[in-house]
Structure 1
């Protein structure tokens, strides 16, 4: 079992899509009002994409009553000529009554039934088959849970965002090289292209997907640091254009505002967990088999948040 409790506030909003939006909402302070209409229009007209597998009316009622929420987070690696797969797939649970939150990562190679296809496959293939809707339905089926919202961002959007805001700096813990970059231990300054190489690597990481998830968190923290600088306030319009092209969610702007205001205390305590399984090959293809006991354990971790 790998569990990591973070005590640093900025490390707590580690979720790729929500954190990027948080840069826009929290980092610019008094300036945000002057950009209110721009932000609202981008969210409601460009990012807003409902899905049938999530009952939004039920979600809004829970939001109104300040009940715990489950948000599916999809980091999609879509490249030229490819619809993409959800290479980062997490369930974020927010508990406003006890000011805590929980982030559970589902390994992308998890073998499970793809809802709508009627066959077993890697869970990250659900997005390629049927987008966020099929991904949400498949996660709900795997863990036997309700989902209230989803947030999806194309990982290529991270590259554009970093280049727009300026180079970011992270503290790297694992040293490795690829065909283009040397990632030394210690402080690393990275542009958008190097950032993508940094978050995509997993085969040279001794922790595999878990290590890659931690590197994604470091990148998000660095983006927040960069986005929070006063010098980047004038870039709000171009930043919103990048998000409008690369982000999708069934949240409306009002939902986001309420989550950031009424659920902000959940940042005080966050637990992170990655589902565990055993690697296997079937017909030459690698899968991660998650035992029933692990699925039940994860189900309880999510449903017992009250």
Structure 2
């Protein structure tokens, strides 16, 4: 994942990718953790496998819907798969409410082309919520709070006409716990600021516990780059966490794995992870990112991102191509 896009937005699509790409990075750590689990299963032996198997069992939860296709057959036949990643703030700063999925990404992994694609959907995208016509149109991030994970999957499938094979949901409370479990992370601050009692100086390096790291990653309004700056700091934290978490000592630690499983939810079972480790792992080294571009509009007193038909079709085509599926109009 070298040659990462720059931060500044321009009017071109490439420029838009550059500005929006920061939205991807905070949640790359979750994919990093999945890759870590796959590596453990593939190479660290029986003890590690037992720990991973136990953790994956705790995190498992069915989406409660009939999938668009036979996902077990897709994995067995080594065909390209899709995984939807969802992020919530539940569990962070003492929050316990269900909340909305303010991070929504669709990842495709193609073992034939040996490539992975990660597409971000704006959380305020105006769309119909699957199964809830009386509450539609609404923001896409409300699908989870109105219904559940299955509702979000069906809503995204309807929006983009792309099958969602699996999902993974993570809350920010898991980030704090995971950092504490690995003994903290070391991060260099890109700017000087104070936030909720914590102080940071530009170019100074800090060893942070989970609470401090969350404060470092959450500040937004005093950053000259606003949300993009926040995403950059979140990226620094999760990269530091990943560097710490790839050690054999860590992956053999049930407490660390439990800290992940207790704050996440997925319908990927241990057997699915084994197949991903065996057949899909190398594709994760060749990741490209994109986003669906909307235009901000105030509608009935609410701020929405309205996505044009041509932009939806572009994203549909991109995702379907990456899944080796024929072109199809978005619906």
* TM-score, normalization by structure 1: 0.85
Distance 1:147 1:168 in 2: 34
Query: Where does the alignment leave 5 or more consecutive residues of structure 2 unmatched?
Result: 1-12, 19-23, 325-331
Q: CA RMSD in A?
A: 2.9
Contact 1:28-1:233 at 8 Å conserved across structures? no
Distance 2:226 2:244 in 1: 27
Out of 108, 114, 121, the position equivalent to 2:138 is: 121
2:86 corresponds to: 74
Q: Tell me, yes or no, if structure 1 residue 270 matches structure 2 residue 270.
A: no
Distance 2:235 2:258 in 1: 23
What are the superposed Cα offsets for residues 31-80 of structure 1, whole Å, 9 maximum, x if unpaired? Answer: 44213223213313x21111134528611111111111110001121143
Distance 1:225 1:61 in 2: 34
Out of 247, 256, 259, the position equivalent to 2:273 is: 256
Distance 1:136 1:127 in 2: 9
Out of 59, 67, 72, the position equivalent to 1:60 is: 72
Out of 39, 45, 51, the position equivalent to 1:38 is: 51
Relative to structure 1, the CA distance from residue 63 to residue 237 in structure 2 (aligned partners, 3 Å threshold; closer, same or farther) is same
Shift of 1:28: 9.5
What is the count of residue pairs matched by the alignment? 298
What are the superposed Cα offsets for residues 232-290 of structure 1, whole Å, 9 maximum, x if unpaired? Answer: 355x2101221231111111101012112211121232111122112222343322222
Relative to structure 1, the CA distance from residue 205 to residue 156 in structure 2 (aligned partners, 3 Å threshold; closer, same or farther) is same
Contact 2:107-2:117 at 8 Å conserved across structures? yes
Q: Tell me, yes or no, if structure 1 residue 139 matches structure 2 residue 156.
A: yes
Contact 1:115-1:137 at 8 Å conserved across structures? yes
Out of 166, 172, 190, the position equivalent to 2:183 is: 166
- Which one has a bigger Cα radius of gyration? 2
Shift of 1:128: 1.2
Map residues 132-281 of structure 1 onto 2, 5 A cutoff. Answer: 132-173=149-190, 176-186=193-203, 187-203=205-221, 212-233=230-251, 236-281=253-298
Shift of 1:145: 0.7
Distance 2:206 2:310 in 1: 40
1:17 corresponds to: 30
101-110 or 21-30, which moves further after superposition? 21-30
The secondary structure found in structure 1 opposite 2:137 is: strand
Distance 1:258 1:246 in 2: 24
The structure in which a higher percent of residues are strand is: 1
Relative to structure 1, the CA distance from residue 151 to residue 163 in structure 2 (aligned partners, 3 Å threshold; closer, same or farther) is same
Out of 96, 100, 103, the position equivalent to 2:111 is: 96
Out of 295, 300, 307, the position equivalent to 1:290 is: 307
Distance 1:67 1:131 in 2: 27
Shift of 1:151: 0.8
Query: Where does the alignment leave 5 or more consecutive residues of structure 1 unmatched?
Result: 5-10
Distance 1:174 1:103 in 2: 28
Shift of 1:192: 1.2
2:21 corresponds to: none
* TM-score, normalization by structure 2: 0.79
1:26 corresponds to: 39
